[in-house]
């Protein structure tokens, strides 16, 4: 078997196939293997999740993902990594990590196993095109032509090109007859044309973020947000970015409404504000607001609420209500996502209707297989993408046989 891509699903496929006695060679276009694993989970590698349910995956063909999720669960992933000597620990919110919390250790252990099993990785070798004749593939690569009877394309998606992401595998699959679903960046930061964000660049707050498209409520996510020079980042933003991308793609006007005091109701906030309001006080409003919200956001809150009061003595009930409304509904119009460069994953890819979910074999080209993110399946943040990368590799290896 020749495997294209020494990433998450390519490396695990190689290990599992080799353990079953198959001879495996990996072609990798970069100088290093597992670059996205190395960068994953902020270097800690969020390897999987306690509850990999279908709701966490996105695809044009959900039954394909379901077929895999029904067969392989978290226990299978823990067992797989246990077989490599990687003990898995679980965080309170159900994310799985290697006990070492080091993505680099995961890659080193995978590469050790690869070496012990005698799998060759040919680095700096990019697959450019394939053709098949008499059940043999001819692979055109940057290191010349190669022949293989069985081929796995595990080349991932174009997310994070700086880590090797590219769509060459998807394009090659398309040229040999597979339908492909258009790709879009996901788990990605968002950009804005609004000038005020650069003034608060670096401010990080826990928020509830609501997405409106053409004024209509779409969805919401809770978590950190981080204002940046170009727009907005943070976990809640990565989580909502897929929906934003979908609506931007249909030319909708996308606006975020950000509640920067998500754990307190409007009524509670009103009570608090009123209890500190003092019509006789000459305290500046800015100083007064510092007692409740991040001070860097105060000028923005005042602007958006059109608060004219400068001193506490000038603040009337109506202005207090406007301030509270703005704190719970800070508006930010979105111009775009940060593109594939900022994305952890890409949507779309090879249409899974052209792939057998029992074997990962192409229905169009015999002895050709696909695993991982090259397929039209992307998961939410939280270890779901690796779960699919590992389990698609397990599915392939469990069913792979070479017929004489
Ligand atoms: C910054 C970042 C953080 C992430 N963190 C997490 C996380 O914590 N948890 C999680 O579940 N997911 C995470 N992901 C997503 C996860 O990394 C991917 O979903 C997963 O790596 C996909 O595995 P894969 O095997 O399909 O592709 P990849 O791991 O991307 O591997 C594909 C390999 O194929 C090679 N290749 C591509 N084209 C060719 C070609 N034509 N010829 C030869 N080689 C080729 C590439 O160089 C690459 O090495 C993260 C992604 C990024 C970018």
Q: Averaged over 245-267, what is the pLDDT?
A: 96
pLDDT-based confidence at 36, cuts 50/70/90? very high
**Which pLDDT score, from 0 to 100, does residue 135 have?**
87
The best mutation among 385, 393, 396, 397 to test binding of ligand 1, ranked by most ligand atoms within 8 Å of the C-beta, falls on 385
Q: Averaged over 161-171, what is the pLDDT?
A: 97
- Which tens digits make up the pLDDT trace of 54-106? 999 999 999 999 999 999 999 999 999 999 999 999 999 999 999 999 999 99
Q: State the virtual CA torsion across 280, 281, 282, 283 in degrees, nearest 10.
A: -160
Cα-to-centroid distance, 347 and ligand 1 (Å) = 13
Does the pLDDT at position 402 exceed 80? no
Q: Averaged over 163-171, what is the pLDDT?
A: 97
Half-sphere exposure of 270 (CA within 13 A, CB side): 10
Cα-to-centroid distance, 165 and ligand 1 (Å) = 7
Cα-to-centroid distance, 402 and ligand 1 (Å) = 27
Q: What is the 3-state secondary structure (H, E, C) of the chain?
A: CEEECCCHHHHHHHHHHHHCCCCCEEECCCCCCCHHHHHHHHHCCCCEECCCCHHHEECCCHHHHHHHHHHCCHHHHHHHHHHCCCCEEECCCCEEEECCCCHHHHHHHHHHHHHHCCCEEECCCCEEEEEEECCEEEEEECCEEEEECCEEECCCCCCCHHHCCCCHHHHHHHHCCCCEECCCEECCCEECCCCHHHHCCCCEEEEEEEEEECCEEEEEEEEEEEECCCEEECHHHHHHHHHHHHHHHCCCCEEEEEECCCCCCHHHHHHHHHHHCCCCCCCEHHHHHHCCCCHHHHHHHHHHHCCCCCEHHHCCHHHHHHHHHHHHCEEEEECEECCHHHCCEECCEECHHHECCCCCEECCCCCEEECHHHECCEECCCCHHHHHHHHHHHHHHHHCCCCC
pLDDT-based confidence at 403, cuts 50/70/90? low
Does the pLDDT at position 404 exceed 90? no
Nearest CA to ligand 1 atom 6: 40
Q: Can you tell me the distance from the alpha carbon of 311 to that of 288, in angstroms, rounded to the nearest whole number?
A: 9
Work out which ligand 1 atom sits closest to the CA atom of 385: 11
Cα-to-centroid distance, 28 and ligand 1 (Å) = 12
> What whole-number percentage of the chain has pLDDT above 90?
97
Beta bridge partners of 148: 137
Would you say the C-alpha torsion 333, 337, 338, 344 has a positive or negative sign?
Answer: positive
**Which pLDDT score, from 0 to 100, does residue 311 have?**
94
CB burial class (10 A; 0-12, 13-18, 19+) of residue 231? buried
- Which tens digits make up the pLDDT trace of 323-334? 999 999 999 999
Tally of residues, the chain? 404
Q: Which residues line ligand 1 (CB under 6 A)?
A: 4-10, 27-30, 35-36, 39-41, 45-46, 126-127, 154-156, 159-160, 163-164, 166, 168-169, 344-345, 372-374, 383-386, 389
**Which pLDDT score, from 0 to 100, does residue 52 have?**
96
Cα-to-centroid distance, 291 and ligand 1 (Å) = 45
Check: CB of residue 260 under 8 Å from CB of residue 205. Answer: yes
First to last CA, the chain: 14
Nearest CA to ligand 1 atom 29: 7
- Which tens digits make up the pLDDT trace of 169-179? 999 999 999 99
Does the pLDDT at position 19 exceed 70? yes
Mean pLDDT of all residues belonging to the chain: 96
Q: In the structure encoding, which two tokens stand for residue 7, read together?
A: 């990433």
Q: Can you tell me the distance from the alpha carbon of 188 to that of 115, in angstroms, rounded to the nearest whole number?
A: 35
pLDDT-based confidence at 134, cuts 50/70/90? confident
Which residue segments constitute the domains of the chain, with CATH numbers given? 2-185+345-399 (3.50.50.60), 189-338 (no CATH)
Cα-to-centroid distance, 372 and ligand 1 (Å) = 8
């Amino acid at each position: 078997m020749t495997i294209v891509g020494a990433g998450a699903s390519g490396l695990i496929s190689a290990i599992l196939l080799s353990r079953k006695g198959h001879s495996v060679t990996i072609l990798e276009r970069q100088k290093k293997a597992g670059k996205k694993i190395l960068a994953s989970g902020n270097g800690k590698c969020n390897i999987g999740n306690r509850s990999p349910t279908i709701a966490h995956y996105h695809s044009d063909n959900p039954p394909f993902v379901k077929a895999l999720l029904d067969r392989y669960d978290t226990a299978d992933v823990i067992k797989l990594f246990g077989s490599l000597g990687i003990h898995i620990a679980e965080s309170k919110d159900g994310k799985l990590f290697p006990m070492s919390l080091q993505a680099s250790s995961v890659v080193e252990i995978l590469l050790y196993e690869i070496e012990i099993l005698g799998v060759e990785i040919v680095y700096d070798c990019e697959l450019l095109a394939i053709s098949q004749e008499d059940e043999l593939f001819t692979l055109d690569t940057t290191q010349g032509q190669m022949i293989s009877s069985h081929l796995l394309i595990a080349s991932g998606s174009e997310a994070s090109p700086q880590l090797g992401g590219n769509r060459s595998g998807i394009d090659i699959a398309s040229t040999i007859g597979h339908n492909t679903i258009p790709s879009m960046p996901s788990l990605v930061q968002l950009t804005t044309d609004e000038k005020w964000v650069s003034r608060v660049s670096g401010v990080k707050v826990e928020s509830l973020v609501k997405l409106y498209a053409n004024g209509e409520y779409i969805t919401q996510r809770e978590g950190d947000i981080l204002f940046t020079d170009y727009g907005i980042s943070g976990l809640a933003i990565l989580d909502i970015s897929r929906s934003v991308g979908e609506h931007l793609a249909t030319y909708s006007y996308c606006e975020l409404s950000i509640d920067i005091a998500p754990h307190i109701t409007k009524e509670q906030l009103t009570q608090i504000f009123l209890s500190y309001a003092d019509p006789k006080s000459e305290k500046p409003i800015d100083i007064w607001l510092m007692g409740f919200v991040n001070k860097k956001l105060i000028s923005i809150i005042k602007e958006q609420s059109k608060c004219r009061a400068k001193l506490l003595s000038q603040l009337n009930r109506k202005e207090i209500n406007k301030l509270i409304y703005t704190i719970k509904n800070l508006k930010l119009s979105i111009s775009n996502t940060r593109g594939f460069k900022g994305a952890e994953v890409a949507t779309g890819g090879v249409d899974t209707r052209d792939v057998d979910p029992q074997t990962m074999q192409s229905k169009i080209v015999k002895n050709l297989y696909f695993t991982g993110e090259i397929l039209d399946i992307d998961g939410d943040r939280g270890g779901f993408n690796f779960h699919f990368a590992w389990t698609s590799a397990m599915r392939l290896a469990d069913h792979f046989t070479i017929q004489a």
